[in-house]
Structure 1
Amino acid sequence: MSETESITARSLTLQEPPLSRDQDALQGGEKVDNVSRHPPSDQGHPAGKPSFAQLVGSRPSRQHDPAFLVAFGKGEDDCLDPKEWPLSKRCRVTLVLAAIAFVASLGSSITSPAQEAMAQDFGTSTQIMIFTSSLYVAGFAFGPSMWAPISELLGRRISLAPPLFCLGLFSIGFATSRNVASLFICRFFSGFFGAAPVSNVVAALGDIYKPKPRGVAVSLYSIAVVGGPLLGPLIGAALTEYTWRWTGYLLAILSFVASGLTVVALPEVYGPVLLHRHATKLRKTTGEERWWHPHEDIRIDFKSIVTKHLARPLLMLTTEPMVTCLCLYASFVYSLVYMALQLVALVFARNYMYGSVVSTLPFLGMFVGVVAVGLPLTLANQPYYFKMVDMNGGKPVPEARLPPVLGGGVLVTAGLFIFAWTGRGDQPWIAPTIGLSLLGGGFNSVFQNCLNYLVDTYGIYAASASSANTILRSILAACLPFAIEPMFDHLGSAKATSILGAFAGAFIPLPIIFIKLGPELRRRSRMTPKET
């Protein structure tokens, strides 16, 4: 799940040309697509790469004195750099970020066990009530288009606390709904606002960690993000024993607590905003008006937001083989989690005759797989990746990200087939639960490292590649769960799950193909940096 390498604030130095400093101050890479400012000129811009002005369509602005640029790495200003904070402080911030991301991801699945109860209350079918989960996930596709640029303009805190508060309000609206239309509207906007922590927390982690420790931090954070959808069904089932409306009330309570925690315990971590504030402070305290920072000249550019989050991602999905294949694979394994919300409940309720709460307990096995299998598989590859990067002169080596994808693909396929043929009710419950554990471990490994590969490959366009993945995975995760119950009814659980296993198995050779052909595909691409 690590998307931070394209959105990390880099250290700034006075020896660089003014334009390069401006780009770094805006966090480098494609993040400048969400904002526009007015650089002095494009002089000194590296050949062969898009200029800053070309990326955002800027006009010339007033000149600034480079000697008065407020930047990290300049004596007392260096203490402002979140990457230089004490480790204990960064760990506390990481825990806060993980907690708020857990709340938002929990909301995507907490209502799934309540579908039957809601269907009875409103006189409709359980198939229709799948929309309560699918529309929340669909909101994830649209939310980042708003919250990402806000975080880059105003900072991480302001892009997290208000959306979490609004998530709480719409969760109350869901809990008090009197008709199906209001249920669906509230769930969609809950997902729209819940997308803020899911997308921006990863960027915030990139603000406080340097590249090597960041990989470990994001891997640990991913447990919280994956844990939400996997633990949500168990919590929701327990609440539904009393009333399904408490799934909304509990999510609202947690969202309000998370919003308050963000205000109280989360400092601002976005480098450009911190330097902007420091420049303002220096002008007031010293009386010297020449102190400046490039972030002061930025503004939200609607056209560039559309380009970055819609037009270019769709173009990359249809013209870049690496984006098409890896986004499809990552999105498929991501959607398996949401298909499992329907499949696991059906298997253990119908084949094993378990009650609503007990039939959701196997999700704990899936979560154990994420922690005990997927996380170690990803971390075990870190030394190899660091070695390859060092051999490549410190530049990213995308193919070094792929070994865990290969291992994860085998685990996903094996887990699906084990679950398919041991979950017919004639085997102990532990057998299909082991299959779910392998599925969880494989999902975490495949999904996170596919994203890492795209970030390493596309450099300044990494955010668009990640947006392409967000769009596709949200569409698949919102739509595919509707197929589970009809497949279960017509084919049986074994054959229905085996079809999913066959699709997963077809993707297993993909990382091997990209290890062989990846360098040549990058050379032919118009969107990859020449140095990768």
Structure 2
Amino acid sequence: MGKRFDDLSKNNNENFNEKTDANSSASESSRPKEAYFEKKDDKGRIVLTEEMAPEVLGFAFSEKKKYIILTVIAILQISMNFNTSVYPNAVGAISEEWGVSEQAARVGQMGFLVLYAFGCELWAPWSEEYGRWPILQLSLFFVNIWSLMQALSPNYATMMVGRFLAGLSSAGGSVTLGLVADLWDADTQQYGVAYIVWSSVSGTTVGPIVGGFMESFAPWRWIFWVQLIFGGFTMALHFLIVPETRSTILLDREAKRRRKQAVKDGKPEPNIWGPNEVKESRISVKEIIVTFYRPFELFVREPIVLFCSMLSGFSDMLIFIFLESYGPVFGQWGFAAWATGLGFVPVWIGYFIGWASFIPFIRKDMAQRKIDRFSVPPERRLYWLLWTAPLEAIGLFGFAWTSLGPEYNVHWIAPMIFAAMIGIANYCIYMATFDYMVAAYGPYASSATGGNGFARDFLAGISAMFSTPFYNHFDTYTLEYPSTILACIATCLIAPIFLLYFKGPTVRQRSRFAQSLNDEFESTKVRAQVREEKAGGGAEHIEHA
């Protein structure tokens, strides 16, 4: 996220010289706002900026169009996360088919998620330079190719290679959440972020729900054929409905249109160029390395990123541990695989409740920012998390000790109720920590939230290897003790949220990344004013000869 801030930082390093009237007798206030933002490269070419053509950007799309785009992206996100969470339903069959242990079969789950964590970061810089649309199409194409490879795999090794490559090919949240930033600015994007976060976490529950039925009633290869069918449908939907939204790509197109239109009208070709047209090279190896390295730098050096990412990552890991614990827990009541899959429906309902619970707070904060955008501190976005994050520990404690089974006269509905509480907390943790880092890190938000996504996928991946041994370790209370241990860890991870809410301003003052925002505030105010005035007033295209 924060891609527009990233663009500002890049422009400062690309030998662009801002046009000024320092020697002019006219006052600064008398100058056109467009001229204030007019920029030239070292060859004297005027570079089209967002403030000079706001009507062509994603911000100018109607709300209806934005949410149609977002709905397709939500389906895309569900599809990618479906691929991660449906695989455990094939573990037993893969083990039997090729004579490997079930632990060896789970390597496919671990490899997919771990490489998904790295893949998200690798796809991000390319989407910034070449646009969201082609990168998402390319990602979906490769994921579908590897899904076909898995469906037709003749042996265990081919299956593992297909899983690993599919994980690395998944663009995921680094691009989809960046697309949200193309449509709304940081002050108005919370509804869009909430929608995409819901789709992301929902994919982890849709997998076991659908996978349970396939495990019970279909040959195991259908688990991968369904991935391919879902992925192909999503790719076609994205191809037909979603336009390009990346601002630099849209500005390039607008600059070309203006030059072409001028020639068509018999006028001199205007000296105006798109931001990518004036670059000698679109993207360098050094830029890719910096983009890939920065999330890890922030993860290690910034307490805000570290604590938020660990809490969010651990919360996501729980869902994947549940993919293993659900079977033995609900098997006590005689649940078949399809019935166990339906046990994830309460978790899915919990995601809906978590999503709905954020809306009043988003509405209130957005109304306040309309009055004064800097009157709402970033820590405000953690307020609702103070109340919902403890639900994770409560839900785990409850799930643990309602896993005793029917011999203790415990009804199966009890652990499902606590699972729904965990779903509420999981959604709220992801939404609040992500939203907070977007507000706290401005131009570094993409890297900060990249660390969040990395932690979620990486921790979920390694959990695939230890979750089953973890739940088989204890001689007594085999199902109760592991969940209790997880609940204790969850309790400890909640503490930093309270620390950041009350001490966040002090923590940010000691951060060179967060403090770099101070110099951007006044420029951001003017930029927002220009964009609102021009978009609202239907301003004509500005052409500079």
- TM (norm. structure 2) is 0.83
CA offsets, 1:183-239, max 9 Å, x none? 111111112222x24321211122123445521122123222211110101212222
2:333 match:
352
Corresponding residue of 2:438: 455
The separation in 1 between residues aligned to 2:6 and 2:130, in whole angstroms, is 19
Q: 1:307 to 1:211 in 2, by over 3 A?
A: closer
Match of 2:397 in 1: 417
Please tell me whether residue 309 in structure 1 is matched to residue 292 in structure 2: yes
Aligned length in residues: 485
What is the alpha-carbon distance in structure 2 between the residues aligned to residue 356 and residue 36 of structure 1? 57
Q: Does 1:467 align with 2:444?
A: no
**Paired residues for 1:185-224 under 5 Å:** 185-194=161-170, 196-224=171-199
In 2, Cα distance between the equivalents of 1:179 and 1:40?
Answer: 55
Asked if the contact 1:343–1:485 (Cα under 8 Å) also holds between the matched residues in 2, the reply is yes
Match of 1:70 in 2: 48
Decide whether aligned partners of structure 1 residues 43 and 339 sit closer, same or farther in structure 2, where only a CA change above 3 A counts.
Answer: farther
Greater mean deviation of Cα atoms: 315-324 or 489-498:
315-324
Question: Distance in 2 between the 1:424 and 1:31 partners?
Answer: 57
Q: Are 1:171 and 1:249, in contact at CA under 8 Å, matched by a contact in 2? A: yes
1:98 aligns to what? 74
Query: For residues 426 and 314 of structure 2, what CA distance do their matches in structure 1 show?
Result: 9
1:511 to 480, 497, 518: 497
Q: Which runs of 5+ in 2 are unaligned?
A: 21-39, 264-268, 519-545
Two-structure CA RMSD over aligned residues (Å): 2.4
What residue number does 2:349 align with? 368
Q: 1:348 Cα shift?
A: 1.4
Shift of 1:36: 10
Amino acid at match of 1:274: L
* Contact 1:140/1:470 (8 A) holds in 2: no
Alpha-carbon separation, structure 1, partners of 2:60 and 2:460: 39
Q: One-letter code of the match for 2:219?
A: T
1:29 paired residue number: 6
The equivalences for 1:33-432 within 5 A come to 38-41=14-17, 62-66=42-46, 69-72=47-50, 77-194=53-170, 196-240=171-215, 241-287=217-263, 288-298=269-279, 299-310=282-293, 312-349=294-331, 351-372=332-353, 374-386=354-366, 389=369, 393-394=373-374, 397-426=377-406, 427-432=410-415
Question: Structure 2 CA distance, aligned partners of 1:315 and 1:70?
Answer: 33
Matched position secondary structure for 1:338: helix
Q: 1:12-65 CA distances to partner (integer Å, 9 max, x unpaired)?
A: xxxxxxxxxxxxxxx2237866x9973234898xxxxxxxxxxxxxxx953335
**Equivalent residue number for residue 24 of structure 1:** none
Q: How far, CA to CA, are the matches of 1:263 and 1:322 in structure 2?
A: 38
1:391 & 1:314 partners in 2: Cα distance?
36
Distance (whole Å) between structure 2 residues aligned to residue 453 and residue 30 of structure 1: 21
Q: CA deviation at 1:443?
A: 0.4
Kept after mapping to 1: 8 A contact 2:205/2:344: yes
The percentage of aligned residue pairs carrying the same residue is 24
**1:520: which partner in 2?**
506
Classify 1:513/1:37 alpha carbon distance in 2 versus 1 (closer, same or farther; 3 Å): closer
Q: Residues of 1 paired with 2:317 and 2:212: CA distance? A: 21
Q: What letter corresponds to residue 28 of structure 1 in structure 2?
A: F
Deviation at 1:396, TM superposition (A): 5.9
Give, in whole Å, the separation in 2 of the partners of 1:225 and 1:160.
16
Residue 446 in structure 1 maps to residue 446 in structure 2: no
Deviation at 1:361, TM superposition (A): 1.1
Deviation, structure 1 residue 387: 6.1
Residues 197 and 430, structure 2, Cα contact 8 Å, conserved in 1: no
Whether the 8 Å contact between 1:403 and 1:511 is mirrored in structure 2 is: no
- Specify which of 492, 498, 515 is matched with residue 529 of structure 1: 515
- For 1:207 and 1:315, the matched residues in 2 are separated by 25
CA distance in 2: counterparts of 1:111 and 1:313, whole angstroms: 28
Residues 112 and 132 in structure 1, CA contact (< 8 A), matched pair in contact too: no
Structure 1 218/466 Cα, relative in aligned 2: closer, same or farther at 3 Å?
closer
- The residue type paired with residue 285 of structure 2 is F
Larger Rg: 1 or 2?
Answer: 2
Q: TM-score, normalised by structure 1?
A: 0.85
SS of residue in 2 equivalent to 1:268: coil
Paired residue for 1:481?
Answer: 464
Amino acid at match of 1:321: P
> CA distance change for structure 1 residues 449 and 200 in 2, over 3 Å: closer, same or farther?
same
**How far did 1:383 drift?**
4.0
- Judge conservation of contact 1:175–1:246 (CA < 8 Å) in 2: yes
